[in-house]
Chain A
Amino acid sequence: GAVVSQHPSRVICKSGTSVKIECRSLDFQATTMFWYRQFPKQSLMLMATSNEGSKATYEQGVEKDKFLINHASLTLSTLTVTSAHPEDSSFYICSARDARGQTQYFGPGTRLLVL
């Protein structure tokens, strides 16, 4: 099946710093990518949807100036958590959908811990 990778798998940073998470579709072109965050024992919460070459669409309540999303190519999207704070600590998961729009594949997730 299609593979989506994320890097890094886990990151620890100090409060106030910025962290970039990369999401790549390895064997297909992803016209649409999604970013989710997940707190322990909870469901996935969609943060934003991005289409290649255009601005991301953020869900209500998600600060677009804090969570910068770039979808520069059909195989790469990045999420930058700017000026991270301890409350941003979470599991961030990206997802990609192929051009046919049928199936949505998820990455392995990135564990972010802000001290």
Chain B
Amino acid sequence: QQQVKQSPQSLIVQKGGIPIINCAYENTAFDYFPWYQQFPGKGPALLIAIRPDVSEKKEGRFTISFNKSAKQFSLHIMDSQPGDSATYFCAARGWSSGSRLTFGEGTQLTVNP
């Protein structure tokens, strides 16, 4: 009930490509879905977040698509750059989980020049 499943585990794209990272959840009480970007040796940084009352949110080159009925959400990175190479974590939070974030397993993205 508290799990968030993330895929793929790793992803390699060419510069300019559009990597897509998917997450699925089970707990329908989750009401906040953030994505974090983490570079090696650094803490995670919030990229973008969405609530279940909207189906899409865009901030710069990053877009979250949200499918409430399927309990899935995904991150799209438009015009990807080598500097986007990092590990990406999806997460979910709801009041039933004590307001704690439940993280996915992470996706290691490599954008080749």
Point out residues on A near B: beta carbons under 8 Å.
1, 4, 6, 32, 34, 41-44, 46, 49, 57, 91, 93, 97, 101, 103-109, 111
Contact = CB atoms under 8 A, between A and B. Distances in A.
Given A43-B89, A43-B106, A108 B101 contact: no
B106 A108 contact: no
Interface residues of B, number: 19
Contact of A105 (B41, B46, B108): B46
Given A4-B43, A106-B45, A106-B46, 11 more contacts: A32-B99, A34-B100, A42-B105, A43-B104, A44-B89, A46-B100, A46-B101, A91-B41, A97-B99, A107-B43, A109-B42
Main SS of the interface on chain A? strand
A44 B36 CA distance: 11
Interface in B1-45: 34, 36, 41-45
